[in-house]
Amino acid sequence: MLTWFEETIVEQRRLPLFCFFVALILAFVVTRVHVRLIRAGVGWFRNVSIGDLHIHHVVFGVVLMLVGGVTGLIVSAGSTGWYAFAAAVFGVGSALVLDEFALILHLRDVYWSEEGRTSVDAVFIAVAVTGLLLLGLRPLSWESIGGLPVHGGFAVAVLVINLLLAVVTLLKGKIWTGLAGLFVPVLLVVGAIRLARPGSPWARWFFGPGARRPNPAKMEKAMRREIRWRRPVIRAKIAFQEFLSGRHDLPSIAGSADRRRRYRRARRPRLPARGRRFVPPRALRRRRPPRYLR
């Protein structure tokens, strides 16, 4: 293991990238554990607030990304150790920002809603891409084909073709195939040729119900593939995400307790001011007996 680390990471000058990778994963796990404890109302775990202002951890992530990025620019030509430390700080900040990616995308707090799963997907994509870079793979590799070097205009043509295939694959709704195909171009060919997913932009434009020339047979085939192959994979991914980051469709226990407390406080009858007649709340007025029974 140590030999592999020295040959693959240290000698190939990938130590800063490795520190970023480890810090990204550890910071995401620690953050999710912390917010799940806050959600459950366990112990002293609470949100960071200043008065009525709730400070999301994306704010701390932006600060750490700035500190790590600027520090990395300063020490990149100097000590490798400090450069790796700056990369680790940048990784921690990236985890905090990506963990609230859905907040940035929707411009509202959807952390524990269904839309909040986008944050977990963003972290998974960042971890996958960084892991492929650590293994020595490079996106849109056009320097060689089949071990033969590529130069000049042919290299530019190969790069443009890879980009077009990646765009087509992503438009067909195959996000993971498109991202992996950036490192393994053969997957881009497969993703661009195969049938698009039923909810993808490609399906809506070319054979869906809203297309100029709808193709019900092709749409039905895409739906069968979605139910047979895609749905089990999605259920497995959601199960793993819920195991790691918690359910995104359940209300917060601490939030529910706060709402119940505010509701009881609002329903509590207030004492009348001196000199004023006591007027009970509406719910209590309904329960008062008629005048002839008093």
Q: How many Å apart are CA 57 and CA 47, to the nearest integer?
A: 9
Does residue 224 register a pLDDT over 60?
yes
pLDDT at 292 over 60: no
Which DSSP letter does residue 198 get? Answer: T
Taking a C-beta distance cutoff of 8 angstroms, is the pair 218, 195 a contact? yes
Q: Is residue 78 part of a domain?
A: yes
Give CA–CA dist 121/54, Å, rounded: 24
CA quadruple 217, 218, 219, 224: dihedral sign: positive
With both helix axes pointing from N to C terminus, report the angle between 15-40 and 57-75 in degrees, rounded to the nearest 10: 170
The token duo for 247 is 């359910």
Structure tokens at 57: 């951890």
Q: Give the pLDDT score at 67.
A: 96
Contact 105, 118 (CB under 8 A): yes
pLDDT tens column, 28-73? 999 999 999 988 888 788 888 888 888 999 999 999 999 999 999 9
pLDDT reported for residue 276: 54
Query: Helices 15-40 and 117-134, interaxial angle, to 10°?
Result: 160
* Whole-number pLDDT of residue 100: 94
Does residue 276 lie within any of the structural domains?
A: no
Helices (H), the chain: 2-5, 15-40, 57-75, 80-98, 101-106, 117-134, 152-171, 175-181, 185-193, 201-206, 216-225, 231-245, 253-267, 282-287
Give the bridge partners for 144, in sequence order.
149
Looking at the domain assignment, is residue 48 inside a domain? yes
Q: Is residue 76 part of a domain?
A: yes
Distance CA 229, CA 235 (A): 11
Query: Where does residue 284 rank: exposed (0-12), middle (13-18), buried (19+ CB within 10 A)?
Result: exposed
Residues 40 and 34 sit within 8 Å (Cβ to Cβ): no
What does the H/E/C string look like for 20-43? Answer: HHHHHHHHHHHHHHHHHHHHHCCC
Q: Are strands 144-145 and 53-54 parallel, antiparallel or unpaired?
A: unpaired
pLDDT digits (tens, 9 = 90+) for 106-161: 988 888 888 888 899 999 999 999 998 888 887 766 555 555 555 566 777 878 88
Closest residue by Cα to residue 31 from 161, 140, 120, 126? 120
| Rounded Cα distance, 52 and 291, in Å | 46
CB 216: neighbour CB atoms within 10 A?
10
The verdict on residue 163 lying in a domain is no
Q: Which two tokens stand for residue 41?
A: 């109302």
In a domain, 201, yes or no: no
Structure tokens at 23: 């810090």
Read off the pLDDT of each residue in 261-271 and give the average, rounded to a whole number: 57
In a domain, 180, yes or no: no
**Residue 16, domain extent:** 11-136
pTM: predicted TM-score of the whole model, two decimal places? 0.74
In which band, very low, low, confident or very high, does the pLDDT at 258 lie, cut at 50, 70 and 90?
A: low
Residue 132 domain-assigned (yes or no)? yes
How many structural domains comprise the chain?
Answer: 1
